[in-house]
Amino acid sequence: MQRTDRERKQEQTGVSRISQAFERAQKLRSAALMPYFTLGYPTMESSVEIISAVAEESDLLELGVPFSDPLADGPTIQRSTQQALDNGTTVAGCLQMVAQLRRRGIDTPILLMGYYNPVMAYGEEAYVRDAAAAGADGFIIPDLPLEEAAEMEALADNYGLALVYFLAPTSPEARIAAVARHAKGFIYLVSLTGVTGARAALHADLGDFISRVRRQTTVPLAVGFGISTPEQAAAVGQLADGVIVGSAVINAADAAEDKPAAARQFVKSLQEGLNRR
């Protein structure tokens, strides 16, 4: 189907908006901060309020689309996604929440993080089309490897959105080169082997891992998994272009009565750790 000029303009915004977020952070001599939060948690209404508050202190947003078997996620995100599912959160509902955030004036780039099974059930083309219409800028799909992503990547390209790929410390040079050839927006570097969740310390070889990847690409590199304090965010920010924090944001909201304010204050402390404020 032939698209209008307006639709074509919208198609081009996703990857460029992500790139611009990293460029703005770089001009401030800082890494871009990308908090994660689960759509539909602790309720569908309150998740929009929390994300809206967090967006004010964020460079990008990673928003979780709940799935019953989140294999890459640790106990905090597993718990939040199960609660979101119990609340009746669906893929369509997640896209509606993204659209609601955009109607509120939130213009922070949004990456939808979800597993492939719900995408397949919804329909790849419909998911990409509807995500673009809602205002998303790209996708993070942990269980969709590069070798199986050709159709999804082509659809994302057609709408100007980013399909973000992962690399781990165990990735060989050939794998790094292959991901670098396909990368748009940024590459998600897993800081350690295992699942998401707060850790007491960063992996000792993180700097070497980032250097190995950087030798093969100019695309921004964002590090996630295990980052939970301003000090850890600052340490990663000295090495990478982006810092991703998930479980600790959810924990901050869970511990407070005023969840939006608490989540925002915690993300602000991460920014301060990055010497942004």
pLDDT tens across 217-228, in order?
Answer: 999 999 998 899
User: Who wins on pLDDT, 246 or 200?
Assistant: 246
Q: What is the pLDDT of residues 241-273, one digit of tens each?
A: 999 999 999 999 999 999 999 999 999 999 999
Contacts of 146 (CB under 8 A, 6+ apart): 165, 178, 179, 182
Going across the sheet that includes 162-164, the strands are: 162-164, 138-140, 110-113, 61-64, 32-38, 242-245, 221-224, 187-190, 166-167
| Cα–Cα distance measured from residue 83 to residue 198, given in angstroms and rounded to the nearest whole number | 20
For the chain, the domains span 5-273
Assess whether pLDDT exceeds 50 at residue 277.
Answer: no
Minimal CA–CA distance to 254: which of 241, 267, 263, 244?
263
pLDDT above 90 covers what percent of the chain?
A: 84
pLDDT above 70 covers what percent of the chain?
A: 90
Catalytic residue among 57, 62, 153, 241: 62
The pLDDT score that the predictor gives to residue 73 is 81
Can you state the percent helix, strand and coil of the chain, rounding each to 5?
50, 15, 35
pTM (2 decimals)? Answer: 0.91
Q: What is the pLDDT of residues 69-111, one digit of tens each?
A: 888 788 999 999 999 999 999 999 999 999 999 999 999 999 9
The pLDDT score that the predictor gives to residue 199 is 46
272 is catalytic: no
Highest mean pLDDT among 28-32, 47-51, 68-72, 207-211: 47-51
> Residue 98 belongs to what H/E stretch?
helix 91-103
Yes or no: is domain 5-273 CATH 3.30.930.10?
A: no
Least confident of 27-31, 45-49, 163-167: 27-31
Q: Buried b / exposed e across 85-97, counting CB within 10 Å, b at 16+?
A: bebebbbebbbbb
Tokens (6 digits) for 47: 């998740």
The pLDDT score that the predictor gives to residue 276 is 54
Minimal CA–CA distance to 166: which of 143, 148, 150?
143
Assess whether pLDDT exceeds 90 at residue 138.
Answer: yes
Assess whether pLDDT exceeds 60 at residue 6.
Answer: no
Tokens (6 digits) for 22: 């990293």
Q: Are 60 and 111 in contact (CB under 8 A)?
A: yes
Catalytic residue among 57, 59, 73, 130: 73
124 is catalytic: no
The pLDDT score that the predictor gives to residue 203 is 59
Q: Are 42 and 252 in contact (CB under 8 A)?
A: no
Least confident of 1-15, 67-81, 129-143: 1-15
- Tell me the pLDDT band of 195, cut-offs 50, 70 and 90: very low
Least confident of 8-17, 137-146, 241-250: 8-17
